[in-house]
Amino acid sequence: MLAASRRPNIRLCDHTGLALPIAPALTGRMTHIRLTPLAQSLPATVPFVGPETQERARGSAFEARLGANENVFGPSPQAIRAMAEAPQWMYGDPESHDLRTALAAHHGCTPDHIMVGEGIDGLLSYIVRLMVGPQDAVVTSAGAYPTFNYHVAGFGGTLHAVPYVEDHEDPQSLLAKAAEVDAKLVYLANPDNPMGSHHKGEDIVKAMDDLPATTLLILDEAYVECAPEGTAVPLPADDPRLIRMRTFSKAYGLAGARVGYAIGHPDLIQAFHKVRNHFGMNRAAQAGALAALNDQPYLAQVQQQITQARDQIAQIAQDNGLTPLPSATNFVTIDCGRDGDFAKAVLDGLIAQGIFVRMPFVAPQNRCIRISCGTPAMLQALATALPKALADAKQG
């Protein structure tokens, strides 16, 4: 372990509003570390403060882990069994052949349309690395999923952000900005994180009429299994205008395994082999994702549990005079009715009572807090803690 005087100055920050200094500044000359000018210009941050970090800071575990949009109902028992039985002395298949084949059958395409990666975060890193160089324009929504922005900054791109419209990411604004700045990439999540809102897939298809010919749409569909029928875009897998991102971290309950996949034109999918980590997918994760995909009855059961939990969270919010926003995800965003400072005070009050939650980080969405679906016991703990958190926040 480094002595305290030798630890780097790292700050962790995310849309909880936390900024935690981890260690004092590095001292002495470190002439052997020859970072690129771009790396030297970037802050040493992570996009999210994990609940474990907060637990260490507060000196105790959370009673209810309701901030990371994990699926607390867990993965299919078949997935658990498959992961336990996977031979750990073997590397994972570098081509993820069996999983890609099954995903292709599930989506009615070929394995050449599918790329498996280390969660959507890993796939976003690869697509940005493939397409974005210094000063290349990229468009997203102000306050949308921050990991995408992190990768754009890491490869020197210039990020242009447009505001939400009525708590929805707005395809028209995004595509208009893309045309204005000649963007290489446009990022749109449907359903959206952190607001939980969604668009009908057919509406996104109509909006794509205005997508510039030289711009690729990244459509993040991480929560689509939690959303109403018709949310997914009704487009063929080889439509060259977009790449769709899916995950096993949400409805399938495998966040710890880090398995995501992209659906796109074979020429674009083939390009991933230029930059991806070919041994990034471990064998247990591949086996677990394949078994989870094959257990659709269990997925249907989890979808029902998510719906019930969303209804319970909405009721808890209403019982406390707050407004739950409509959700197509495995979380509910709650309008606290005032500004970001008040919402942050409510969040802090919940965390102090052992309830881990998060909040949007850009106004006016930061008037809200975001509650992930939880077990009945977790949500009962939330119901007990929220009145006190609100009362303390109102007292300033």
DSSP 4-72: GGGS---EEE-TT--EEE-SPPP-S--TT----HHHHHS----S---HHHHHHHHTS--SEE-SS---T
Contact 332, 324 (CB under 8 A): yes
| Rounded Cα–Cα distance for residues 218 and 241 (Å) | 9
List of the chain residues with pLDDT < 50: 1-24
Q: How many CB atoms lie within 10 A of CB 226?
A: 25
372: which DSSP letter? E
Residue with tokens 């992209």: 262
- The secondary element (H helix, E strand) that includes residue 312 is helix 296-319
| Rounded Cα–Cα distance for residues 287 and 83 (Å) | 6
What is the per-residue pLDDT for 179? 98
313 φψ region: left (φ > 0), alpha (ψ -120 to 50), beta (else)? alpha
CATH number of 52-73+308-337+350-394: 3.90.1150.10
Strand partners for 331: 372
Contact 121, 249 (CB under 8 A): no
The encoded tokens of residue 11 equal: 């700050």
Please give the sequence-ordered ranges of beta strands (E in DSSP) within 130-177, or none if there are none.
Answer: 137-141, 158-162
Residue with tokens 């993820």: 96
Q: What number of CA atoms fall less than 13 Å from residue 225's CA on the CB side? A: 22
Q: Give phi and psi for 209, each to the nearest 5.
A: -60, -25
Residue spans of alpha helices (H) in 182-265: 201-207
Q: What's the sign of the alpha-carbon dihedral 113, 118, 119, 121?
A: negative
CA distances from 197 to 112, 144, 219, 233 (A): 31, 12, 14, 15
How would CATH label the architecture of 77-294? 3-Layer(aba) Sandwich (3.40)
| Rounded Cα–Cα distance for residues 207 and 200 (Å) | 11
Mean pLDDT of the chain: 93
How do the domains of the chain map onto residue ranges? 52-73+308-337+350-394, 77-294
What is the per-residue pLDDT for 1? 32
Tell me the pTM.
0.91
Strand partners for 139: 160, 186
What is the per-residue pLDDT for 19? 43
Tens of pLDDT, residue by residue over 221-240, are: 999 999 999 999 999 999 99
Q: Determine the residue type at 131.
A: M
Tens of pLDDT, residue by residue over 133-191, are: 999 999 999 999 999 999 999 999 999 999 999 999 999 999 999 999 999 999 999 99
Q: Give phi and psi for 330, each to the nearest 5.
A: -100, 30
What is the per-residue pLDDT for 28? 55
The encoded tokens of residue 67 equal: 């901030």
Give the pairing type, strands 323-324 and 331-335.
antiparallel
Contact 333, 325 (CB under 8 A): yes
Q: Determine the residue type at 175.
A: L
